[in-house]
Amino acid sequence: MFKAARSIGVCGLVFAMSVAAASDDGFTTKFPMVSCEFISWGGNLYFPLIPGRQLYYSNASCVATGECDALTELWITAERETKRISFPVGNTNLSLVTRVVQERETENGKLVEISRNYFASCRSSRDVYYFGEDVDIYKNGKVVSHDGAWLSGRHGAKPGIVMPEAGFIMGSRYYQELAPDTALDRSEHKRVGFTMQLPAGTFNNCLEVEETTPLEPDDIGHKIYCRGVGLVKDDDLELTAIYGATDAVTDADDD
């Protein structure tokens, strides 16, 4: 979560600086969105968008070994709800429908954050794009901030890719978010073709992603995604259960 710029003038300056820096760091910032037909369902093999599907994560294993002090739990739900988002791309204005994916996080049973994330996939390439999020940060049961919220088209923010199509994996480097002074997360695929054994089961054909941001250079995270399942590990959080719709994305789901 990052603090937003306080004025449009500052925001524009920060965005120009951010884009200039981003264009030189080896991570992709330009994506062929104009040629895409965006759809809010399906996703791809490493990032399914299946309405009604919920994934539950916890760091219980970390707590059990004494490496983590607090029990963190996370529920990620692909809602049946959608959200239309419009933003400029070049000389045109792009309008599309995104899937709402809610993340609900607790610490020792107390609610700490609810975010509503907006994703859609390009039908032809099956790359899954990230268009923004609304964030509620909680303390003692009350919303205390919305830090980290951003939306494509507002204050210069642009979409990024959250997960490329399954065939575009090893060595991929791209920005997931391009929101000046708020969210500049970027991703690099570090490892591919291994198996994960977790509380939710054994998963094959997995890849490891390293996430960084120029806004906090020392903040480095690691996530693991597995083919047909999606995110299975986020640092200490491990996939513990899958609820609701269980239909896996297949290689023919772009038809």
State how many domains the chain has: 1
- Is 59 inside a domain boundary? yes
- Is 154 inside a domain boundary? yes
What's the pLDDT at 55? 98
What's the pLDDT at 185? 96
- Is 128 inside a domain boundary? yes
Average the pLDDT over 18-26 and give the result: 59
CA distances from 26 to 58, 186, 220, 241 (A): 33, 10, 17, 36
pLDDT tens-digit map of 114-172: 999 999 999 999 999 999 999 999 999 999 999 999 999 999 999 999 999 876 677 88
- Is 2 inside a domain boundary? no
Of 16-25, 102-111, 197-206, least confident by mean pLDDT is 16-25
- 65-88: b or e for each residue (b if 16 or more CB lie within 10 Å)? eeeeeeebbbbbbbbeebbebebe
What's the pLDDT at 17? 36
- Is 28 inside a domain boundary? yes
What's the pLDDT at 1? 34
- Is 191 inside a domain boundary? no
Average the pLDDT over 64-81 and give the result: 97
Quickly state the pLDDT bin for 230 (edges 50, 70, 90): very high
Say whether pLDDT at 12 is over 60. no
Tokens of 245: 């719709």
Quickly state the pLDDT bin for 23 (edges 50, 70, 90): low
- Is 209 inside a domain boundary? no
Tokens of 250: 């297949």
Q: What is the mean pLDDT of the chain?
A: 88
Range of the domain at 141: 8-184+239-243
CA distances from 81 to 49, 65, 113, 116, 247 (A): 12, 39, 19, 11, 18
What's the pLDDT at 5? 30
* pTM given for the model: 0.87
